[in-house]
C-alpha cells in the first residue's frame, strides 16, 4: 500500500471486509487518496498486518469486527471516536456468498449469507452511519452486486436475495438521511477477477460464462471498483445519493 494526498485527504473512512479481494483494493485506493483508514474484518490479525504494511501505519486503525454482532459495532464506533473524534465515510463491503440455487440452497447457509451480507450492511449503516451523521455528515457506500438487480447465471440464490435487499435498503436510508448531511449510495460490481475468484474458477466453464456474458469481454478488477468507491466517498459526489453505480463491464445493459 502506498500513500498520497488527494480528494480524501484526512477523511476518516471505515471499511468492512477490508482484508481480501475487493476490500483490500478499496483500502489501498482510499489510502492513496489521503484517507485515514479504519480497517475492519472478522480476521483481526489480517487487519493489523494490512495496516502495518503501510509506511504511515500510525495514521490508521485496525479493528477486528464481526459485522453481524451489534455489540462489536458499538465497540468499533467507540474506538473510532476515541482515536479520531469523527467518522467521515463508511464502506460496507463485508459479505459472503453461496452458489446454491432456489431449489438446492441449504436453509442454514441461506440464513448465514443473509446475516452477513444483508444484516451486516444494515448494522454498519445503523451504527457507523449514525456516527457519520453525528460527525457532521459524509458518505455511506454499500457494496452491492449485479446480482442485486438481475438473475446472473441462475444460481447464488441467497447472495442475490441479500444483495437485492441491500439495493433497496440503500435507497431507503438515503431518504432517511437526505436532509441530514449523509449520502448513501450502492456500487454494483459485475464479475471481478479477484485472486479468490481466479483460484476457484479460472479455466472452468463458469469462468468462461462470466466473460462471455460481459459485453466488454473480460472480468473487472478490484481497482476499478475501488475507483468508484473513492468517487462516492469524497466531495466530488455531494449531490449524489440513493443511486446505483454499476461497475460491471456492461453486464446489466446487455
Domain assignment present for 202: yes
Domain assignment present for 253: no
Whether pLDDT at 28 is above 90: yes
For the chain, strand residue ranges (E) read 12-15, 36-41, 61-64, 89-92, 138-143, 182-189, 244-247
The predicted pLDDT at position 202 comes to 86
Domain assignment present for 254: no
Domain assignment present for 1: no
Confidence of residue 4 (pLDDT cuts 50, 70, 90): very low
Q: Tell me whether residue 201 is one of the annotated catalytic residues.
A: no
Whether pLDDT at 1 is above 60: no
pLDDT digits (tens, 9 = 90+) for 128-172: 999 999 999 999 999 999 999 998 888 999 999 999 999 999 999
Whether pLDDT at 241 is above 90: yes
Domain assignment present for 172: yes
pLDDT digits (tens, 9 = 90+) for 36-68: 999 999 999 999 999 999 999 999 999 999 999
Domain assignment present for 67: yes
Q: Rounded to an integer, what distance in angstroms lies between the CA atom of residue 87 and that of residue 77?
A: 9
Q: How many domains does the chain have?
A: 1
User: What is the CATH classification number for the domain harbouring 19?
Assistant: 3.40.50.720
Of 96-100, 116-120, 175-179, where does mean pLDDT reach its minimum? 96-100
The predicted pLDDT at position 136 comes to 98
The contacts of residue 98 (CB under 8 Å, 6+ apart) are 105, 109, 110, 113, 156, 157, 158, 159
Across the chain, mean pLDDT equals 95
Enclosing domain of residue 197: 12-246
CA neighbours within 13 Å on the CB side: how many for 7?
12
CB 15 within 8 A of CB 26: yes
Domain assignment present for 212: yes
Which member of 84, 159, 201, 246 is catalytic? 159
Domain assignment present for 6: no
The predicted pLDDT at position 205 comes to 87
Q: Is 152 left (phi over 0), alpha (psi -120 to 50) or beta?
A: left
Q: Rounded to an integer, what distance in angstroms lies between the CA atom of residue 201 and that of residue 193?
A: 10
The predicted pLDDT at position 149 comes to 94
Whether pLDDT at 2 is above 60: no
Amino acid at each position: 500500500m502506498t500513500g498520497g494526498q488527494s480528494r480524501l485527504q484526512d477523511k476518516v473512512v471505515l471499511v468492512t471486509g477490508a482484508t481480501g479481494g475487493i476490500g483490500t483494493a478499496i483500502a489501498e485506493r482510499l489510502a492513496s487518496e489521503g484517507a485515514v483508514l479504519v480497517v475492519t474484518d472478522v480476521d483481526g490479525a489480517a487487519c493489523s498486518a494490512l495496516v502495518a504494511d503501510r509506511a504511515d501505519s500510525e495514521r490508521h486503525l485496525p479493528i477486528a469486527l464481526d459485522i453481524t454482532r451489534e455489540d462489536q459495532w458499538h465497540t468499533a464506533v467507540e474506538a473510532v471516536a476515541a482515536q479520531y473524534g469523527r467518522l467521515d465515510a463508511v464502506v460496507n463491503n463485508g459479505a459472503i456468498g453461496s452458489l446454491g440455487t432456489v431449489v438446492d440452497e441449504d436453509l442454514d447457509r441461506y440464513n448465514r449469507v443473509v446475516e452477513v451480507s444483508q444484516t451486516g450492511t444494515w448494522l454498519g449503516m445503523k451504527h457507523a452511519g449514525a456516527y457519520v451523521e453525528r460527525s457532521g455528515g459524509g458518505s455511506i457506500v454499500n457494496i452491492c452486486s449485479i446480482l442485486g438487480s438481475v438473475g446472473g447465471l441462475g444460481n447464488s440464490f441467497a447472495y442475490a436475495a441479500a444483495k437485492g435487499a441491500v439495493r433497496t435498503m440503500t435507497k431507503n436510508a438515503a431518504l432517511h438521511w437526505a436532509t441530514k448531511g449523509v449520502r448513501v449510495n450502492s456500487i454494483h460490481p459485475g464479475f471481478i477477477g479477484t485472486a479468490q475468484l481466479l483460484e476457484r474458477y479460472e479455466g472452468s466453464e463458469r469462468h468462461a460464462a462470466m466473460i462471455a456474458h460481459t459485453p466488454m469481454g473480460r472480468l473487472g478488477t478490484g481497482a476499478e471498483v475501488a475507483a468508484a468507491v473513492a468517487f462516492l466517498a469524497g466531495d466530488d459526489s455531494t449531490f449524489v445519493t440513493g443511486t446505483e453505480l454499476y461497475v460491471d463491464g456492461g453486464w446489466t445493459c446487455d
